[in-house]
Amino acid sequence: MMRYIKLVNFEINRFSKIYLSLLLITLVSQFAGVIIVTKSLLKDARDIMKEERLSEAAYITNYGSLDFNHIANTLLFVGPIALSAVALIFYIFLIWYRDWFGKNTFIYRLLMLPASRLSIYLSKATAIFLMVLGLIAFQIIILPMQNALFHSNVPEALLSEMSISTITIANPILSLIIPSSFTQFLLSYGIGLMIMSILFTAIMFERSFRIKGIIMGLLYCGIAAVLFLAPVLMEIGNFYFYPNELFGLMLGIGIILTGLSVWLGAWLLKNRVTV
């Protein structure tokens, strides 16, 4: 267990500089977005009121009030979230291939450690999942601050206040990364774990069989996608599922695929990937 924890800590430390950079980019970009977009919105509102000789009440009647959605839908706000997502998806591959193609071919030392190779597999998966949760927690912490900053800069007469829960529900990206219910959390992050385990297994296929492994990995990803989406595809035909039934089927298939992928990937790492 201690070796597993040390491996997780080791993997997180290896990505720490890039990870901290993503947090800093998110912090600076989003707060800059709040300030810049708010000033732009107020300038446009004042220009319209001046040109059309409107009162604040008349402006709201004609053009609507200002709320945080004007900020949350901008590139400065959602861009860092997308960048972080892409970086972590890329790291799913980098966390393995860096060990093989790095300067010192570190994978040889890693595989010769007096520890189960399953621990190596799980430590990499755990490190990525913890970093995902860390980014989400960071967003949850700074979002109320950004909302408060927006409220403090917009005149009360033009402001439409929004709670944090309303903001997250109204914005598609925020509603995806910050689930509003435990069921949605299971769905969003369960699917994320499943996809990561499937990609890990595809990488193990490639590392085990090289060129043939690429084809095997792609086939495995395709078959897993079809199996997971089978209930949805069945609904397009003549079958009908109640929402709870559909959720239960997809959850069950997702758990099976995740378990199978972890077992198969760990088996390949132990029996097919050689030092």
What would the pLDDT profile of 47-80 be if each residue is shown by its tens digit? 999 898 888 888 898 888 999 999 999 999 999 9
pLDDT at 12: 92
Given pLDDT bands bounded at 50, 70 and 90, which one contains residue 196? very high
What would the pLDDT profile of 3-59 be if each residue is shown by its tens digit? 888 889 988 998 999 999 999 999 999 999 999 999 999 999 999 998 988 888 888
Looking at the chain, the whole-number percentage of residues with pLDDT higher than 70 is 97
pLDDT at 253: 93
Residue keyed to tokens 């069989």: 209
What would the pLDDT profile of 230-274 be if each residue is shown by its tens digit? 888 887 767 777 788 888 888 899 999 999 999 999 999 988 876
Given pLDDT bands bounded at 50, 70 and 90, which one contains residue 102? low
CA–CA separation, 267 and 273 (whole Å): 9
